[in-house]
């Protein structure tokens, strides 16, 4: 079954920036069998819209948010293998897992969006990423008109990156199911200073305590609505690029990466470029979280886009570092379907 709504559908409730934009057609399949037909009409594929920026009225949009359900594929002594429909809400899924005694995802508490997009974006927070839990992804490949099972090691997962963001796959592969392996044993990941500072050591082996602590930290830090979380990725620099940056910015925070590169704080670069609280119309650089751009109520797509360009240009000018967007802009007239 697929609900198809046409004729200028307001998208305000279908994306987290809550902009007053419309879609020509909104395709909302609630069963996997309806996906190929819906996909044949769609220009864009979205989940819950918490990491997109529609830059005006859009052509046909397919959202997988109503594909629901899960099944346990395999129980082992210490682990469980579960297949989850792409439209399940991510945070709901994390809570369900804790209730079942399936662990590993606790630090990914309260990340908005759907299970399918969690793979596309390889979501991460507080020292945990989705990647190590992923076994495979199943979905409809529009290009070859066939269902495909893609093993995790072919998904090219990296820092907020996957195969499904790359041009040949973007909007061409509709993820309908995701298979994860989770642990039956809870081992808290307390590597982040924010988490360590807030956790009650007497309760750190209670997964709900870790979950609730992270949820509380997030709700203090992030705006409740009107954003897509971090707008830009943290730049990954080679040693020589880091040295060059450090000449201008000796105190810039960085974290060494397993591949010998260095992840630099984009929030710091934006903050020290004097952009905290910078506003263009009703679009704002969040005054406490400079990585987050916010629609304060009635921002237009142009205002948010101009603000994003301004942040990018200013950081480039001041630090010589190109910022890459984490949020995906959706253009009214895509060059390719």
Ligand X SMILES: Cc1cc2nc3c(=O)[nH]c(=O)nc-3n(C[C@H](O)[C@H](O)[C@H](O)COP(=O)(O)OP(=O)(O)OC[C@H]3O[C@@H](n4cnc5c(N)ncnc54)[C@H](O)[C@@H]3O)c2cc1C
Enumerate binding residues for ligand X (CB under 6 A).
16, 45-52, 64, 86, 111-114, 116-118, 120-121, 123-125, 164, 173-175, 222, 227-229, 328
Could you tell me which of 226, 241, 255 has the C-alpha nearest to residue 322? 241
- Please, what is the minimum distance in Å from the beta carbon of residue 124 to ligand X? 5
Question: Cβ closer to ligand X: 42 or 245?
Answer: 42
326 is catalytic: yes
Residue 326, helix vs strand vs coil:
coil
Residue 278 near residue 208, CB atoms below 8 Å: no
Give the separation between CA 163 and CA 157, rounded to whole angstroms: 7
Contact 321, 269 (CB under 8 A): yes
Contact 94, 106 (CB under 8 A): yes
- What is the closest distance, in whole angstroms, from the C-beta atom of residue 211 to ligand X in the complex? 14
Q: In angstroms, what is the minimal distance from the CB of 242 to ligand X? A: 23
Residues linked to residue 85 through DSSP beta bridges, in sequence order:
177
Identify which of residues 216 and 239 has a Cβ nearer to ligand X in the complex: 216
**How far is residue 308's CA from residue 324's CA, in Å, rounded to a whole number?**
11
230 is catalytic: yes
Selecting among 160, 181, 272, 312, the annotated active-site residue is: 160
Q: Which one of the listed residues 142, 162, 230, 312 is annotated catalytic?
A: 230
Least Å from the CB of residue 116 to ligand X: 3
Q: How far is the CB of 169 from ligand X (least distance, A)?
A: 8
**Residue 290 burial (C-beta neighbours within 10 Å; 0-12, 13-18, 19+):** buried
Q: Which of 66, 186 has the CB closer to ligand X? A: 66
**Closest-CA residue to 93 (of 228, 83, 78):** 83
Nearer to ligand X, 253 or 320 (CB): 253
In the complex, which residue's CB is closest to ligand X? 113
Please say which residue, 217 or 237, places its beta carbon nearer to ligand X: 217
Min separation Cβ 248 and ligand X, Å? 28
Cβ distance to ligand X smaller for residue 113 or 207: 113
Q: Following DSSP, what letter does each residue of 104-117 receive, concatenated?
A: S-GGGTT--SBHHH
Strands 328-330 and 52-54: parallel
Q: Do residues 24 and 8 lie in contact, with contact meaning Cβ atoms separated by under 8 Å?
A: yes
Nearest to 28 by CA among 18, 20, 17, 39: 39
CA distances from 189 to 1, 196, 241 (A): 41, 9, 31
Q: DSSP letter for 233, please.
A: P
* Residues designated as active site: 160, 230, 326
């Amino acid at each position: 079954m697929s609900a198809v709504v046409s004729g200028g559908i307001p998208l305000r409730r279908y994306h987290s920036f809550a902009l007053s934009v419309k879609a020509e057609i909104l395709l909302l399949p609630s069963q996997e069998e309806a996906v190929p037909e819906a996909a044949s009409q769609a220009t864009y594929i979205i989940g819950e819209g918490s990491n997109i920026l529609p830059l005006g009225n859009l052509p046909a949009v397919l959202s997988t948010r109503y594909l629901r359900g899960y099944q346990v594929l395999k129980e082992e002594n210490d682990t469980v293998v579960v297949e989850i429909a792409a439209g399940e809400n991510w945070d709901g899924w994390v809570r369900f897992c804790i209730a079942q005694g399936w662990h590993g995802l606790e630090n990914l508490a309260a990340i908005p969006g759907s299970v399918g997009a969690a793979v596309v974006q390889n979501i991460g927070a507080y020292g945990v990423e989705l990647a190590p839990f992923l076994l495979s992804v199943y979905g409809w490949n529009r290009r070859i008109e066939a269902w495909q099972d893609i093993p995790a090691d072919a998904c090219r997962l990296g820092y907020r990156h996957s195969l499904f963001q790359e041009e040949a796959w973007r909007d061409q592969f509709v993820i309908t199911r995701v298979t994860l392996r989770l642990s039956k044993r809870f081992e808290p990941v307390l590597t982040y200073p924010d988490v360590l500072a807030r956790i009650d050591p007497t309760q750190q082996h209670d997964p709900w305590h870790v979950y609730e602590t992270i949820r509380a930290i997030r709700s203090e830090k992030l705006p409740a609505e009107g954003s897509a979380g971090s707008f830009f990725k943290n730049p990954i620099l080679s040693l020589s690029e880091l040295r060059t940056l450090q000449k201008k910015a000796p105190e810039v925070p960085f974290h060494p990466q397993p591949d010998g590169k260095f992840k630099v704080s984009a929030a710091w670069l934006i903050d020290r470029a004097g952009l905290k609280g910078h506003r263009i119309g009703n679009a704002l650089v969040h005054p406490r979280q400079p990585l987050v751009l916010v629609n304060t109520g009635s921002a237009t797509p142009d205002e948010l886009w101009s603000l994003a360009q301004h942040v990018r240009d200013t950081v480039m000018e001041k630090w010589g570092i190109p910022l890459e967007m984490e949020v995906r802009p959706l253009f009214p007239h895509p060059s390719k379907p």
